[in-house]
Structure 1
Amino acid sequence: MKTRGTDVQDIVGPGRAVGIVGLGTVGEALLSMVAATGCPVVGVDNDPDVIARVEQRLKRNDTGETGESVSWTLSTDITALADVGVVVEAVAEDPGAKRDVLRRLRQACPPDTAIVTTASSLPLFPLSTAAGRPDRIAGLRLLRPPAIGRRAEVVRTSLTSDETADLAERLATAIGLECVVLGHRASGFAARLVHLYLNRAAAMVAEGFASPRDVDTAMRLGCGLPSGPLELIDELGVDEVHSRLESHWKRTGEEAFRPVPLLTSMLRRGTWGRKTGQGFHHYDDQSLPGERTPDERRRPDSPSSGEPVRQVGVFGSGTMARGIAEVCALSGLRTTLVARSTDKARSAAAAIEASLVKAVRRGRITPAQKKDALAALATVDDVSALSGCDLVIEAVAEDLQIKRGVFARLGEVCRPGAILATTTSSLSVAACTAPAGRPGETLGLHFFNPAPVMKLVELVRTPDTAAHVTAAGRAFCAGLGKVPVACQDRAGFIVNRLLFPYLNDALRLTDDAALDVVALDSAVERGFGYPMGPFTLLDAIGLDVSLAILERLHAEFPEAGCAPPAVLRELVGAGHLGRKAGRGLRRA
């Protein structure tokens, strides 16, 4: 059976190696992918410290897919590439640096050597002429560092020979990449959007709003992203992210692109992410670029000092209230749902039972678990039924005055020491809960919809929330099988505060005549591995819902780029609300 290693050797020619110039995040990942096939590979970098670090990691993983020892050579001397069949240039995304390396490759490599450049944002034609062999150069466009199964685009100029383009595509496929079309303009727009999002995430950590671990967990679980923003910065390299942001900032003058001071200080300290072993997270020296982040994210939380929650109350009867009550009852907690009327209480009970029946049919729970959950659940219309609860969760409409009215009543009927929580997604937790008169015993528990399915809960602490209340809230969420992430009481919390400025940035791009909405969505999905592009996601959320959230965020953070653009207001005014209306930013 033919192995990928045999394929690579066939591509480069008998007895010849693949060369990699520049062993940063992208270069080292490519080198390890080629080495894993068993084909000889030569890596070159002008920094001896980089050579030493890469060599250390390769020695720990020096058996390829063929089961034989991998043949690799590392050097600071570009003449080590004197007999390679293909050389991949992977130096920093700087036109001067790339042109210099390509000129040197022209002198160091045989005339028949094919050259592949990883330039992703730079035009390929000027680079091909610098190489002096425009027919023998192709591009490999990557928006994330390469790894098995990730997507890349082979790019050619009008002068690239068919043989060279075919060789580049065969090599990419043989080492495990999937070749797709990303497009230069769409890729540029996609990188711009994502880098702005990364800069905001770094700012969130810098201001102490949430920890890197909680920010990353929130965005992975809340938005279904393959990695959190700080993990992505570490993966791309703090130096590369800083360079891209600074380049955009100097070219456009837009302050949103100015690298946050935290990134600048990390750059100066040399904590550049995975390639240096330390960035926003710590990385074992054995981990290679392109591999998943070490499971710091699964590290258990410190033991809780809060009192255990045994009896839960849910105030509300809508979708979110029913979902939370269902999850609590399934977890074995005595659960009381309070609705505004007897009819609403009965409807809530029927809806929860129907949901449990569906869960049994889908194999998510057993009939016995359904029976026990229904036995643990009571649905009533009398708020005094919450008097003995350890924790009461308000889940009514996202309206400040309605929520304040609920908490005024809860403050009267709930026992001393009971924890009172709001499920608000965009309002101030302190403002919602203040009428209860128990500032130390209140917090936010923002469940994501549908509550029985989504794992994430944003645990929001106000300046007055007692430490034992936060600890009890964290333990309660964990007991439900949820993953709590802690943050301060500011509009949008973690997910919405990062997601909606990103979506707003995408909407602003519609002013650019070069933008293709479909192509941008595709580039974000294919290049970064996101489940949806920004315009598809806006349609899924609802343009009216997005407009309302952006307005709230803009009121809280006037300088944060959340002012809704005219195009969004006009679309909503015209009834283009997204998927639910059958028309939005894209055709349904």
Structure 2
Amino acid sequence: MTNIKSVGIIGAGQMGAGIAQVCAQAGYTVLLHDQKVEAVHAALEKINKGLNRLIEKEAITPDDAKASMGRLQPAASAHDLKDCDLVIEAATENEEIKKAIFKSVSEHLKPDAILASNTSSISITRLAAASDRPGKFIGLHFMNPVPVMKLVEIIRGIATEPETYQIAVEFAQSLGKITANSEDYPAFIVNRILIPMINEAIYTLYEGVGTVDAIDTALKLGANHPMGPLELGDFIGLDTVLAIMEMLHDGLADSKYRPCPLLVKYVEAGWLGRKTGRGFYDYRGEKPVPTR
């Protein structure tokens, strides 16, 4: 069985940075690559801050944090990932972008390297077909925020070899995560249940059943959810919520997955949630204020 020692991560956004942090903390050498060099530097700074917060909580020691940062290296190009045992793609949730990444990175990797995607909804079988190693391709869907959330969904494509799956399970567990196997259907398990719930909350707002505040309060206190569905949509990113709903609607051809028109309007307006300062809440002041 392949002994994974070095992990390459493509995409230095919120998910990529989180995956890089947990891999470094688990003792893996991590090479972080992004088309934008400044994104890698921002991710390393974010990871350092995250480790410092763990020191303050006495969850790790300063020496642990220093060792973890020492395992993190920026990678200027896909060629720099040539010696990695595992490469995880954590780019934006766009199928064509992901396929282009796998097509370009495959030629640089050693033959026994495993490729994984952190996609939250796209077919692993289709993504694997864009690489040169469908048998060594797998879905590793980490939850956000990665350092906090314990689950990793593991998704096999039609060509994924049993050994690749077993290595992926053992790798995820070595990060202190709990794994759940999902078959390769649109949005897998978590998002097939979670994202339509958020979409239904948006319909509830769209149809005037309740206000933003009423809907989120109702679910937090009535269903014991830590975050209301509209607040959670803003946290995930409304563009991502829409992309997953469209993937479900297209992939399963069921009208119950139709994206709410209000969700579409918010995305068209560029009101994508926390990352843009406005979504169902306005985050530009001292405290979030509902936008409807």
The answer to whether residue 130 in structure 2 is matched with residue 435 in structure 1 is yes
Alpha-carbon displacement from aligned partner over 1:130-185 (angstroms, at most 9, x marks no partner) = xxxxxxxxxxxxxxxxxxxxxxxxxxxxxxxxxxxxxxxxxxxxxxxxxxxxxxxx
Match of 1:516 in 2: 210
Q: Does 1:318 find its partner at 2:13?
A: yes
Structure 2 vs 1, CA of residues 349 and 565 (structure 1 numbering), >3 Å: closer, same or farther? closer
1:500–1:562 Cα contact (<8 Å) kept: no
Corresponding residue of 2:194: 499
User: What is the DSSP-based 3-state SS (H/G/I as helix, E as strand, rest coil) of the residue aligned with 1:529?
Assistant: coil
Matched, 1:549 2:252: no
Deviation at 1:395, TM superposition (A): 1.7
- Tell whether 2:86 aligns with 1:401: no
Higher RCO (CA < 8 A, seq sep 6+): 2
How far did 1:404 drift? 1.6
Q: Which residue of 2 aligns with 1:455?
A: 150
Cα distance change of structure 1 residues 582 and 318 upon mapping to structure 2, 3 Å threshold: closer
- Residues 201 and 215, structure 2, Cα contact 8 Å, conserved in 1: no
Counterpart in 2 of 1:298? none
Distance 1:414 1:440 in 2: 14
> Separation in 2 of the partners of 1:587 and 1:342?
35
For the residue of structure 1 that corresponds to 2:198, the secondary structure is helix
1:557/1:344 CA distance change after superposition, 3 Å: same
Partner SS, residue 413 of structure 1: coil
Deviations 1:346-385 (A, max 9, x none): 4444443343233323333211111211222222213233
> Does the alignment pair 1:477 with 2:175?
no
Separation of aligned partners in 1, 2:93 and 2:201: 26
Q: Residue in 1 aligned with 2:285?
A: none
The 1:564/1:383 distance shift into structure 2, 3 A limit, reads: closer
Change (3 A) 1:584 1:412: same
Residues 238 and 279 in structure 2, CA contact (< 8 A), matched pair in contact too: no
1:469/1:536 CA distance change after superposition, 3 Å:
same
- Is the alpha carbon distance of 1:375 and 1:552 closer, same or farther for their aligned partners in structure 2, counting shifts above 3 Å? same
Q: What does 1:185-584 align with in structure 2 at a 5 Å threshold?
A: 306-340=1-35, 344-510=39-205, 515-517=209-211, 518-559=213-254, 561-573=256-268, 577=272, 580-581=277-278, 583-584=280-281
Residue 222 of structure 2 aligns to which amino acid in structure 1? G
2:284 counterpart of 1:587:
no
Which amino acid in 2 is paired with 1:460? I
1:21-46: CA deviation from partner (whole Å, max 9, x where unpaired): xxxxxxxxxxxxxxxxxxxxxxxxxx
Whether contact under 8 Å (1:422, 1:433) holds in the other structure is no
Task: Name the SS for the 1:476 alignment partner.
Answer: helix
SS where residue 245 of structure 2 aligns?
A: helix
**1: distance between equivalents of 2:206 and 2:53?**
45
- Whether the 8 Å contact between 1:504 and 1:565 is mirrored in structure 2 is yes
Q: Is the 8 A contact 2:26 2:174 kept in 1?
A: yes
Distance in 2 (CA, whole Å) between partners of 1:321 and 1:496 is 19
Once residues 441 and 472 of structure 1 are traced to their aligned partners in structure 2, the CA distance between those partners, rounded to angstroms, is: 10
1:396 and 1:403 in contact (8 A); partners too:
yes
Gaps of 5+ in 1: 1-305
Amino acid at match of 1:441: K
* Contact 1:308 1:475 survives alignment (8 Å): no
**Alpha-carbon distance in 1 for matches of 2:241, 2:132:** 33
Aligned to 1:280: none
Number of residue pairs matched by the alignment: 282
3-state SS of 2:185 partner: coil
CA distance in 1, matches of 2:179, 2:22: 15
Q: CA deviation at 1:430?
A: 2.3
Mapped to 2, the partners of 1:570 and 1:431 lie a distance apart of: 29
What amino acid is the match of 1:480?
L
Alignment of 1:128-139 (within 5 A): none
Q: Distance in 1 between matches of 2:41 and 2:214?
A: 48
8 Å Cα contact 2:93-2:240 kept in structure 1: no
Alignment of 1:34-183 (within 5 A): none
Give unmatched runs, 5+ long, in structure 2: 283-288
Equivalent residue letter for 1:581: R
Q: Against the structure 1 CA distance between its residues 527 and 345, is the aligned structure 2 distance closer, same or farther, given a 3 Å change threshold?
A: closer
Q: Give the root-mean-square deviation of aligned CA atoms.
A: 2.8
> Post-superposition, which runs of at least 4 consecutive aligned residues in structure 1 deviate over 6 A?
none
Equivalent pair of 2:201/2:230 in contact (CA under 8 Å): yes
Name the larger-Rg structure. 1
CA contact (8 A) 2:231 2:280 kept: no
Partner Cα separation in structure 2 for residue 501 and residue 368 of structure 1: 43
TM-score, scaled relative to structure 2: 0.83
> What is the CA–CA distance in structure 2 between the aligned matches of 1:394 and 1:511, rounded to whole Å?
35
Deviation of 1:343 after TM superposition, in Å, equals 5.1
Retained in 2: the 8 A contact 1:403–1:433? no
